[in-house]
Structure 1
Amino acid sequence: MIRLFERKQQKKSQTKKVHPGELRIQKDMEELELPGSCTLDYPDENDVLNFVLIMKPTEGYWKGGTFNFSFHIPTDYPHTAPKVECKTKIYHPNIDLQGKVCLNVLRFDWKPVLTINTVIYGLQLLFLEPNPNDPLNHEAAELLKKDTYEFSQKVKRTMNGNW
């Protein structure tokens, strides 16, 4: 009888513990409605808490570009917002040159009812309507406010690798 109890305990300890964040992200992914301009990549297919969103805008200043965003989902998700970082160097008022993303739903507007779909929609919106009033890249924000034509030219140059 004692051996049976020991085996059950051993089996329990060998079983991988699933965090609530993993369960919620699985649900989010099942309900995900990716736009045609976006795809997901899992560098480690066994790790549902880390993935890459590949975004290819079809309109706006960054049309024709390819931008990779790494997502890290904390184990206490959805109580804590995902961590999102742009891995592609980009000239954008709301994304700095180190890849930090200024998106309200990733900061003070995050609520547990929000989903990964909400974050992806917010990222898309940053490409369609960059917000120069809440910038991380102040130079890009000032240029966008002052001269949209020159801003668009600088975006094109930087997308071609001319920094």
Structure 2
Amino acid sequence: MSSTPKPTSSAQTSGAARLLQRQLKEMSTAKDLPGISVGLLNENNVFVWEVVLMINDDCKYYGGAYFRAHLTFPPEYPHLPPKLVFQAPVPFHPNIYASGELCISILHPPEDDKYGYETAAERWSPVQTPETILLSVISLFSEPNDESPANLDAAKLLRQDRAGESKEFRRRVRKCVRESLGED
């Protein structure tokens, strides 16, 4: 499958916009999505959502936090994945680049992984929805993936923390959590 972008038709864009409006409405009124809040960053653009993830105290991410992110959808949605970028303070996490961009398999393009790490089945599929993406992100805070890190320092410190060799990962995460709560 080629990764070259295809021209986008206005019909495709309007179809994506209608789908996103419906999905946003469903998520905004859902009562079974604790810890997730969504809305439009700009009410004139349904392709960019503002997301707040409330990570609870029971999470292995060492305490409750509020992380803001932007979920940006391409005009080719749902055939191509959106991008999720955390806003400051960016969580210290093995699967989040310093820029705030999330690295998770389900947001990788629907093609074979040229490095052979992921199967096509693990990557983006049009059956994914904003809801399934955000639930996966919350799950990633409970179980970070240090096997394919976006943040090498965080992955290394997490491994040392798990092995009982260091508490630096935990210390850095707690600092990040305090910042997210406006305590630092």
Bin of the TM-score, shorter chain as denominator length: 0.7 to 0.9
1:144 is the counterpart of 2:158 = yes
1:48 is the counterpart of 2:43 = no
Q: Give the greater-gyration-radius structure (CA).
A: 1
Q: Which amino acid aligns with 2:160?
A: K
1:117 is the counterpart of 2:135 = no
Distance 2:127 2:176 in 1: 37
CA contact (8 A) 1:92 1:140 kept: yes
Alpha-carbon offset, residue 82 of structure 1? 0.8
CA contact (8 A) 1:25 1:49 kept: yes
1:132 to 146, 157, 171: 146
* Partner residue in 1 for 2:94: 93
CA RMSD of aligned residues (A): 2.3
How many residues are matched?
A: 148
Alpha-carbon offset, residue 53 of structure 1? 0.7
Matches within 5 A, 1:27-38: 27-32=22-27, 33=30, 35-38=33-36
* Partner residue in 1 for 2:6: none
CA contact (8 A) 1:19 1:76 kept: no
Higher strand fraction (1 or 2): 2
Report the TM-score when normalising by structure 1.
0.80
Distance 2:92 2:177 in 1: 8
Q: Which runs of 5+ in 1 are unaligned?
A: 1-15
Q: Which runs of 5+ in 2 are unaligned?
A: 1-9, 110-122
Moved more, 150-159 or 29-38: 29-38
* Partner residue in 2 for 1:103: 104
Aligned identity (percent) is: 28
